[in-house]
Amino acid sequence: MQASGFSKNTRSLNMLNTVAVSVGLFFLFLALLTFAVCRRNPKVINAALINLCISLFLAHLLFLLTQKFLLDIASDQLLCAVMAGVLHFLFLCAFVWMFIEAVLLFIFVKNLTQIRPKQMEMLSWKCLTVIGYVIPLTMVGVSVGLVPEGYGSEQCWLKINKGFRWSFLGPVCVILASNLILFISIGVLMVSTLRKLNNEVLQTKLTRSDNDLIKRVMLKVLLQFVIIGCSWILGFFTENNEVINILFIIFNSQQGTFIFFIHCVFNHEIRQQYKKFLSSSCILTKTAPKPSRR
């Protein structure tokens, strides 16, 4: 009876995981499609957010395929270890890009709050690409070099023996702590700037629209930080706790859903793009020539 119940619970968790990850992938695809349409509007999208979504999409898709064909993949230890290493790399990429997005927001706020005008400090997309993908690749390479047998658990993920899971949880904790420090720094900059608004020079440099833009972007990035980052904290407590395991599956798989609603549905500029697209589609449908009847 116990074995039967355990098997039933496992099947239920696998079904929940498949459905939840599929829903998250669908909304991640919608978000990437929206960003492709609005890629020329800097108030809507930036390179860090696009690469964050790409990393999450590939990671969740690979995870779904791995779990779907787990029996076949787990039978080949080398393939299982390779899949675990790629998943490790993609999820680390997502966290690094989330950190980059927070850094860009900090630089943006710092530039706007400078009283003396100067050239905007901003990293080039080439430099961002190196940071966003080479650093996670280096982390995975170091992990493989130090503990080569650490990849390829029963679920084709990181093995928990010898503390190898900290090769992922360690960088995640560092990035979450760094992001928290950046958000506090941004908040301090915003408060100090608002107190100086009686300065005419600053009033001309930091307009009300800039101030509103900073608040909106900061709120979105902060929500994104909580949704994507803090959901992984539940991963510390999933062992032998079915309730937390279910919560982890739900919150972690719906990262794409939250990103779509935060950056697309609740974005005024994107809603305007949606309206223009729908109105133009309706006009084209009405003006399309009807087939003649013979």
Query: Tens digit of pLDDT for each residue in 106-126?
Result: 887 777 665 444 444 456 777
Question: Could you tell me what percent of the chain has a pLDDT over 70?
Answer: 73
Is pLDDT at 215 greater than 60 in this prediction? yes
What would the mean pLDDT of 45-73 be, rounded to a whole number? 89
Residue 285's pLDDT band (cuts 50, 70, 90)? low
Instruction: Say yes or no to pLDDT of 201 above 80.
Output: no
pLDDT at 170 over 50: yes
Mean pLDDT of the chain: 78
pTM higher than 0.75: yes
Task: Find, among 75, 90, 101, the residue nearest to 259 by Cα.
Answer: 101
What superfamily would CATH give domain 2-276?
Answer: Rhodopsin 7-helix transmembrane proteins (1.20.1070.10)
pLDDT of residue 116: 44
Tell me what pLDDT residue 122 has. 57
Q: What are the φ/ψ torsions at residue 158 (nearest 5 degrees)? A: -75, 140
What b-and-e string marks burial along 15-40, b requiring 16 or more CB atoms within 10 Å of the CB? eebeebbeebbebbebbbebbeebee
pLDDT of res. 31: 92
pLDDT at 106: 83
- How many alpha carbons fall within 13 Å on the CB side of residue 51? 22
List, in order, residues 6 or more apart from 68 with CB less than 8 Å away.
18
Contacts of 48 (CB under 8 A, 6+ apart): 97, 98, 100, 101, 104, 128, 132
224-278 per-position pLDDT tens digit: 777 777 777 776 666 667 788 888 888 888 888 988 988 888 887 788 877 877 7
pLDDT at residue 193, rounded to an integer: 66
pLDDT for 3 equals: 37
Amino acid at 182: L
Task: Find out whether 84 and 168 touch, Cβ atoms under 8 Å.
Answer: no
147 vs 291, more confident: 147
pLDDT bin (cut points 50, 70, 90) of residue 62 is very high
Neighbours of 86 (CB within 10 A): 17
Q: How confident is the model at residue 130 (pLDDT cuts 50, 70, 90)?
A: confident
Q: What is the pLDDT of residue 275?
A: 80
pLDDT at 160: 78
**What is the structure's pLDDT at 115?**
45
Q: What is the mean pLDDT of residues 191-207?
A: 56
